[in-house]
Amino acid sequence: MNRRRLIAWIATAVTSMMLVIGSQFINLSPANSTTTLNVYAAVSLTNALNAIKTQYQNANPTINVVYTFGASGTLLSQIQAGAPADIFISAATDQIDVLQNASPSKLVAGSRKNVVRNRLVLIAPTTPPVSTGSAALTSFNGLTNANITGIAIGDYTGTPPLVPAGNYTKQVLTSRGIFTTLNPKLYLASNVRNVLTAVENKTLVVGGVNKTIDAGAVYKTDAALSNKVRVVETALTTESDPIVYPLGILTRTTVLTTAQSFSNYLTGTTAQNIFKNNYGFLAP
């Protein structure tokens, strides 16, 4: 009887061990694996792309989209330094031109396309206290008024420019013949969302010093996110380069099929409806 019990115990132990070992292989099976897609994108796309990510991942549960947001020029520098980007979406053509025109090209042939467009607007704060200059501001030209002492714009320096929104702003002010006059009042922010925050808070730290901000220039889609600013004027499309968001797939990607899938999704009906209807972007 003891021998029979021993044999039964051994059989049970062996069966349990096989089940444990088998479960390890099941957990490691390719069917449960996740593909990570690294997307480097202009910070002005943050809200829209996060909403699109939710929809895309619901439809593609084995894909994990990881975003890195920032000024387009900053992202370009990171990519050039070897950042593991699979897709780059800039807020201007200049930054993506650098990658496409490299020798050899850093973009997958035929992968470049415009995803959306935008408009540039002048904004002023609305939360009290509002300065006399801010309250009376009605146009870009009004920035020359002596009551306007501080204007926040994106950092337009660098080749290509660090912050496309800042470069578009410089072009608008130049086209109106007031850039040189306004230059002493311009305070540069590291990205367009920081410009929005500076106008909301009516201050921007520059070189460790707090500068009073009476107005700023951001994209129309950024202004729409805030209830602390008002749109003073929308720049004409003829006053700057077209405000487009080009996308390119990096040749360094190891998940090309996934990158192509997401790229196609961004210009498809679902994503375009989110861009346009929910966040105010314009069709490419």
Token pair of 225 as six digits = 């996110």
pTM of the model: 0.88
Model confidence at 263: pLDDT above 70: yes
Percent of the chain with pLDDT over 70: 89
Helix (H, G, I), strand (E, B) or coil at 279: helix
Is 245 marked as binding a ligand? no
The pLDDT tens digits of the residues spanning 178-216 come to: 999 999 999 999 999 999 999 999 999 999 999 999 999
Model confidence at 32: pLDDT above 70: no
pLDDT of residue 10: 54
Q: In angstroms, rounded to a whole number, what is the distance separating the alpha carbons of residues 242 and 244?
A: 6
Q: Where are the alpha helices (DSSP H) in 151-216?
A: 164-175, 179-182, 192-201
Is 23 marked as binding a ligand? no
Determine if residue 158 is left, alpha or beta; phi over 0 gives left, psi from -120 to 50 gives alpha, anything else beta.
left
Please give the domain boundaries of the chain with CATH numbers for all domains: 35-118+243-279 (3.40.190.10), 120-234 (3.40.190.10)
pLDDT band at 26 (very low <50, low <70, confident <90, very high): very low
Is 219 marked as binding a ligand? yes
Model confidence at 20: pLDDT above 60: no
pLDDT of residue 2: 57
**DSSP secondary structure of 203-268:** EEEETTEEEE-SEEEEEHHHHTT-SSEEEEEEPPGGGSS--EEEEEEBTT-S-HHHHHHHHHHHTS
Is 59 marked as binding a ligand? no
The pLDDT tens digits of the residues spanning 219-246 come to: 999 999 999 999 999 999 999 999 999 9
pLDDT of residue 121: 98
The pLDDT tens digits of the residues spanning 62-73 come to: 999 999 999 999
Is 244 marked as binding a ligand? no
DSSP-assigned beta bridge partners for residue 121? 218, 234
pLDDT mean over 136-155: 98
Model confidence at 12: pLDDT above 70: no
pLDDT mean over 15-26: 45
pLDDT of residue 22: 47
Model confidence at 156: pLDDT above 50: yes
pLDDT of residue 29: 40
| 204: Cα within 13 Å, side-chain hemisphere | 28
pLDDT of residue 21: 44
Q: Over the chain, what is the mean pLDDT?
A: 92
The pLDDT tens digits of the residues spanning 82-114 come to: 999 999 999 999 999 999 999 999 999 999 999
pLDDT of residue 27: 41
pLDDT of residue 204: 98
pLDDT mean over 144-156: 98
pLDDT of residue 8: 53
Model confidence at 168: pLDDT above 60: yes
